[in-house]
Amino acid sequence: MTKVAIVTGGGTGIGKAIVKSLLADGFSVALFGRRLAVLDDAAHELDPSGQQTLSVPVDIGDRDAVEAAFQTVITHWGQLDLLVNNAGMGAPPIPLEDLTKEQWHNVVSANLDGAFFCTQFAFKQFKAQSPQGGRIINNGSISATTPRPNSSPYTATKHAISGLTKASSLDGRAFNIAVGQIDIGNAQTDMTKAMTTGILQPNGQTMVEPTMDVEHVAKAVSYMANLPLDANVLTMTVMATTMPFVGRG
């Protein structure tokens, strides 16, 4: 039986690379995102036949919309085997005291509320279906452990993802639900273009940071996704080898 996956933020960047890898593994994949045209473009590029993909426009920060989106997937394919909580956004890189309430809440809604709501409805489906169970992979980011300057909203939500991963992994044990997290550092996407020209460091200097091909991230997620449910990668860090993360400076 073909496995079914949902990838949030599936139309661009890391999410699109993950979709591509899962399709190659034989998954059918629902692409979640805000913009239908972007989702459709990605789906058509990666799956010209349209047999393995489904574009589902949704604001994952809206719980009712997430419920409807999950129902669309279940109605279409009848099951769910994998949720990849990948979608996320950051606030402007300005001093934290200058951030507006709206900027803070936008990041919390996309990064934390969305991951939690998707996890809720994945759990509901995993518990209800037969055979029972499924897998969730959360995109934690390097910021789940270590912040960049002027990144309080993003860092706070990504630290929270680590807590969500651990708590939902524990709560899923009795129901054959495996939950893990991948922390990604400097994958080459549109979001990381600034790193190739110079990005602010904690010491106040600006420096170019090494990046890596996003395909390495997709392959890592694919490995996690294809494990049997009695095995789990709880946490994994995939990063550009020489990026300034380990050690001082």
Rounded Cα distance between 204 and 135, Å, is 41
Terminal-to-terminal C-alpha distance of the chain = 49
245 occurs within a structural domain: no
Active site residue 154: yes
The pTM of the whole model exceeds 0.85: yes
Blockwise average pLDDT, block size 10, the chain, 249 residues = 95 96 98 97 96 97 98 98 96 95 97 98 98 97 89 96 98 98 84 73 80 91 98 95 75
What pLDDT sits at residue 59? 97
Give a yes or no: residue 225 inside a domain.
yes
Residue 244 lies in a domain: no
| SS3 per-residue string spanning 163-182 | HHHHHHHHHHHHHCEEEEEE
Residue 8 covered by a domain: yes
Q: How far apart are CA 59 and CA 34, in angstroms?
A: 6
Which pLDDT value is given to residue 249?
55
CATH of the domain at 161: 3.40.50.720
Residue 231's domain comprises: 4-239
**Tens digits of per-residue pLDDT, 207-226?**
877 787 899 999 999 999 99
**Domain membership flag for residue 18:** yes
Q: Is residue 20, in this structure, part of any structural domain at all?
A: yes
Which residue(s) pair with 178 in the sheet?
135
The pLDDT, as a whole number, for residue 185 is 84
In a domain, 146, yes or no: yes
Total of domains in the chain: 1
Q: Which entry of 16, 124, 158, 193 is annotated as an active-site residue?
A: 158
From the candidates 154, 166, 219, 223, which is the catalytic residue?
Answer: 154
> How many Cα atoms are found within 13 Å in the side-chain-facing hemisphere of 220?
24
**Is 223 a catalytic site residue?**
no
In this structure, are residues 176 and 227 in contact, taking their beta carbons and an 8 Å threshold?
A: no
Residue 121 lies in a domain: yes
